[in-house]
Amino acid sequence: MNTNKLHTAEARIREQAAAYCAANHVPGFVAGVHHAGEQFVVAHGTANVTTGAPMLEDTGFLLGSVTKVLTTTLVLQQVDRGVLDLDTPVVTYLPEFALNVPGAADKILVRHLISHTNGIDADLYFPDAKGRDALKTYVAGLASGCGTLFEPGEQLSYSNGGMIVAGRLLEVVTGLPFSELLARDIYTPVGMKDSSTSAEQAILRSTAIGHFPDPETMEARPTGMFTLPDTWGPAGGTPIGTVADLLAFGRTHLAGGVSPSGTRVLSAGSAALMQQVSYDLRSPNTPPMGLGWVRYPFGDTTVLAMSGASPGGVSILCVIPEHDLVLACFGNTPGAILLQDQLLQWLLSEHLGVPIPTLITETEQDVDLAPYAGTYRSGQLRIDVSVVDGQLEERAAYEPADASQERIFTEFAGGTTAAPPQRYVPIRPGLFAPAGYPLEAFDGYLRLLLVSYHDVRDGQARFRNGGGRMTRRA
């Protein structure tokens, strides 16, 4: 690795982070790159606008859904040990697992939980429970409160519920609470020395909090909720780490399951299995899914990635096996995801010389929009789709199941749960882009903003897919 080249990348990321944060009211940002045996971490700005604490290179932050790759690694460890089998029904190990559709849970295999193909309709299910029985409480609530979106293996839909059930499954087969298992079998052998599993642990060291833009001034204001409930731990609610710790975890997967210290964390076969395609929806807005990892194609180069939203913050972990590179970032407002996308594309195109082809090259004008109009639902989300002026117009509404879940979701969303109507222009039948965006905006991570429709029968689409999440025609 050319040291000067890495220094150039460090200077570029430091400069770009400072400029973006200043222009977009992002209080703080921290990023790190490991490439071919060398690495750097840069930090900018403020970790908490209330206290004025600086964002440091070793400041901790909520991992958010990056945790899902850690949870998947824990599941594969138990497969390596012969405790779990991926193609065995979950109820074999977790008999109390049930949904409100009789017999539906019986069809879900362990593999479906970690490949986002389980169909559990629980993406916005937020039971409020703490402590050792939090995940047990979550699974118990599924039986009366949550159904299915599709048959297991039929579709791909990003699944918080699947990962939380996987976390409870791990508790049952190991006899350890998820937080203790995470610390014992991931943090310790990987060398994630500054990572923690609770706010009580995080308060003992430098830790960032999230912020939301004030609707009127756009200035960042601190979140009123640091973490989601303990029930969301395995999906990303509570684990906290640093950029250096995430780089160490990414390097472990680069090295076929061997940590930077030489400890075997995962078998080479299981590490490879996580990176292989487990399901491909064959739609530009939803990259192929591995186990835990999402496989973003940039031409012939694959970026293994997972991003993570927390209350007022966003993290990302990217592993590029073909180029021995790991990128980890955190910004403490939701808009920092745009900066993360810019940095990833710059590293690919300028630092690594990877051509980034245009994902969407043209649009079609004469697309029949009738099959896509209608109402789509998943859990507590309703999306009404209508045809207006040759475009699709979507109105999304959050319909809380109870006051507790409304409170949690509202705090998680920064107080704003109602979105204005959004227009979409057709790219081709079944694929639409938000109006007003240049097509090149979707070449990177923001391809998730595209919306697709699937399984058209009798002139009507059965599913709408936005952000990797399915809703089903009502």
User: Which tokens is 310 given?
Assistant: 């927390």
- pLDDT of 250 reads 98
Query: Do the beta carbons of residue 290 and residue 274 sit within 8 Å?
Result: yes
Tens-digit pLDDT profile for residues 86-127: 999 999 999 999 999 999 999 999 999 999 999 999 999 999
Domain boundaries 1-357, CATH class:
alpha beta
Query: Which of 65, 157, 270, 315 is flagged as catalytic?
Result: 65
Query: In the prediction, which pLDDT does 1 show?
Result: 57
Rounded-to-integer distance, Cα 145 and Cα 379, Å: 9
Give the C-alpha distances (Å, rounded to integers) separating 372 from 54, 96, 151, 421, 435: 48, 38, 21, 16, 17
Mean pLDDT of the chain: 96
Q: Which helix (H) or strand (E) holds 93?
A: helix 90-93
Considering the entire predicted model, what is its pTM?
0.97
Domain boundaries, the chain: 1-357, 370-473
Q: What percent of the chain has pLDDT over 70?
A: 100
- The whole-number pLDDT of residue 174 equals 98
- Run of H or E including 248: helix 243-254
What spatial distance separates the first Cα and last Cα of the chain, rounded to whole Å? 54
65 is catalytic: yes
On the 0-12 / 13-18 / 19+ scale of CB atoms within 10 A, 457 is exposed
Q: Which residues contact 24 (CB under 8 A, 6 or more apart)?
A: 333, 335, 338, 339
283-294 as b/e: b if 16+ CB within 10 A = bbbbbbbbbbbb
